[in-house]
Structure 1
Amino acid sequence: MKKFTRPGSLYLVLTVSIAIALILAVYFGANFILVSVVALILIIVSAITFGIRASIPGLIVSSACLLHYFYQFSECANFSGKIIILLNYFIIAISLGIARDFFQKQKKNILDYKNRIESDAEVVYTHRKLLESILDNIPAVVYVRDADLKFIMVNKAFEKLVQKSSDFLIGKTDFDIFPEKIAKNMARDDIEVMNNDMPKLGIEENIFLPDGKSMWVVANKMPFHDKNGKVKGIIGISYDISKMKKMSLQLETILNGFPYKAWLKDKNGRYLAVNEILARSVNKSRKEITGKTVMDIYPEEYAKEHMANDQQTVDTRKTKYFHEMLLTNGVPTLHEIYRAPVINGEEVVGTIGYAKDISKMQEELKELTRLNNLFSAVIDNIPIMLFVKDADTLRFKLINKVAEELIGLDKNSIIGKTDYDLFPKKQADFFIKKDREALDTNRQLVIEEENLTSGKKSVIISTKKVPLLDENGKPVCVIGISEDITRQKEMEKTIKELAYYDEITKLPNRHLFKDRFYIASECSKRDKKKMMISMLDFDKFKLVNDRYGHAMGDRFLKSFADRVKKIMRKTDTFARYGGDEFIFIISSFNNTDDMKIFADKILKSFDSPFTVEDIELYIKGSMGISVFPDDAVEQGTLLKYADSAMYEAKEKGGNTYVFYKDSNKNKTGRLFD
């Protein structure tokens, strides 16, 4: 049963009310015009409200009421007027009912159409979003242009390629994005596709991006049409083939870089690529050879052996050298052929190889052997270490006899090895670092000192590292020229010790004392501290020399120096001035009281005897002290004051110290520089 909506129920009540009003009007004999109007209203309301199905019952009710009214009040209208009224009612009821039903049907159709449009729009939107999602997630560059070559859609890959957002790109042309030359080429292809109404596939383009970089793409351009078949624009799909192009160019470069005939074949022996040397040797172009086999370019007697060896390489999956006859400018010559399988995953997909004409090999080999022996003899007789390392791996490629001796290994144990195979890691790190520095800067590098240690041998060497470049300026190896400077360094060390250190006591001598004084005085000035300069001389040391000899005296001086060094600070200087005189630089004092404590400590070192060759020697010393900067700031003046105070200490009986400021002054006439 059909359910009425709330408005429908109201209309039904209204219609029934009008019908009741009509019946009552007729029953009570109301005015004819009122009855006619109410009857007409009933017909109209029922027709408009419920259509033809309600207009007929309304017409029947209205007509029945009017007929009854006519019967009661026959004088209200003549017969023809009554018929006309009833016919009009009939026409109005039918017309309005049909009109209302037609309107409702059209309304329903419109609503259905609207719903269908909305549903279709939602489907279209969903499909569009799905398409955009698919296009945005494929690696290809996809775009759509209108007939004016303006972008109307691009995917994420296109945005990333040109580094522009879709909001910017929509409505733009290639001329707004790419350089004019590239844009013209692209526009020419697009116009050709639209004019010919034919797709253009596999277009290789080298495009320059906004960031200045370039990339190779293969573009496919197709026209799209409206419902009438008219071209409305183009769809473009481009793939980045930069890596593939680079690999192709690299393969071509590699093959053409071979000084011999070189090729790449599939597993059935068909040429995929060959170099120019191979093509020229059979008087064909590379394009003519590609896709062919050796049976198509060589005599059958040679080609069969060639094919059999190709198949052997595929079957065994091993690299191998062969000797075969091939043509060179139409002449059969013996070649050494290298073949290697090309493996993709677990499958052998082809072979790669090269062929070298070795017809003159014997003569060249003999000459090469002679030159190699001569070169080896020259290298081995050079009296300095010589080695050569590969620029990429830094493995030893050549060494001479001196290098073998310095490293402590024979040539066979060194060639092909790196520094890490021969030396401790720390040393190897240093050597490798310097090798790389020379190669990276393409300049000669001199390392003054290296501690070379291999096995049980340790020497100091001076090394010159020189990068050797090819014709393109690329380093191919590094040459090392090393000289053993161990004896030279030892001599330098000895000379330095003789120049700055006392030979007997190993203490600084007066020359080094001067340098130490300068440094200490500058520090005292900076820190605003006092510094004591002390001169010490043994009391009656001449008796030791006279009784036991100068050799015993020298050993005593050494014993004294060793004892006093133990109580000296690292920042202080304890030096032998000459004979049995010693000088001290003791810094960082605030007052002379602290200096006295240190002076007492030095004199206390004489309390116990010195045992030299089982002889106990009881010797004392006298000290004179001058103070920087209280007494003076000049080195010579301070030494003179300390010397003067020392002699006064001796006059007091020795085994004591005297400060210059407390002395009688100028007890010595010695000059100090």
Structure 2
Amino acid sequence: MNPFRTEELLESYNGIALMLEDDKIVYINHQFSELLGYTQNDVIDLHVIELINPDDRAEFTNGVFVNPGASEMTTQIYHKNGSHMYFTLNAFQFKNTYVVLGKRLRRQYKSFDYDITKEDIMQSYINHQMDVDDISEIVTTRFDELRFALDNLPVDFWIKDKDHRYLFMNEIMLKRTKMEPNSYYLKNDFDLFDRDIANDFLKTDMQAIKTKKKVQYIFESKTSRFVKWTEVSKVPIFNKDDKYIGLISCAIDISSIKGNEAELAQENKALLDILHSQYDVVVYINSDGYIEHQFNRLNLDFEQRHYRECFKENTMLLRYLDAGLKGIESNFLGTIKGIAANIVVKPVSLPDGHQRLFLFGREQRS
């Protein structure tokens, strides 16, 4: 790996990037410095695990050093000032060098100096011992308290009565939906939104009511009236007689996270393109032994079939592939479909304990 070329690629990456040799940091890009406050001199030769929140160290170690590239991970990284930030990370291995790429996540929020998550918001207003027949009785008597508390939350928050009519929307919900205060009161989704959106909202409301459990889902908006992507949670409320009395819901804007996922997918493709430029053949074999993906410049016929059938004439290669599914990595001179090649068989462990394989081949040229 050319370190100068790699550093150039990492600097062009739209997110944090760091390069490791074994488990020590040898390079960080400028976005890592800007977001987390470190200079190159602060972290060079530092064991990377020292920057990772203890709760995430096991997953980070597995995702970077044991099974690089196997899956995306969410990790808390310490800022130089002692706080931490959330990132989605992907890791890639090139011999003894590891490249870690990440996008920042904003999954936690603060209000009144308390950490607030979606679960906290919901649980604060759920009481299955309510001695009322409709949640409107509570909202009406405590409206000012609700407004004071919930207008300060950086999430959309709303309450519906047992007839699916809106009783309360917090300030950020009003702004996102471009509604005037109280214009929603005692109106249902069909009064306020397009029919397709109203049907979607009602469908998930009914799912929560029917199951008597919280439902959580990702909502993709097709209209500019809403943000592009939100993560929605809905909790049905029942009184002490187990009678449905209303619905409490909130939604968090995850458009930036979805955008990051798309960018990561593009970056992963770019890295695969780099990988393809280094090898003449790249074959992906799933945990059942079937070929799912292939790249080859040699016009070889692999098809999407079991590797033992595909390479049945090549006993040496089969032996190494069999070992690969048991977790053994190999690097050897052999043949692929009769073509002499430098071959690498690299196993990657899945979370369920199964192995998948990558077969890399570079033609031997005289």
- Normalising by structure 1, we get a TM-score of 0.24
Which of the pair is proportionally richer in helix?
1
- Normalising by structure 2, we get a TM-score of 0.42
Which one has more relative contact order, counting CA pairs under 8 Å at least 6 apart?
A: 2
Which of the pair is proportionally richer in strand?
2
- Structure having the higher Rg: 1
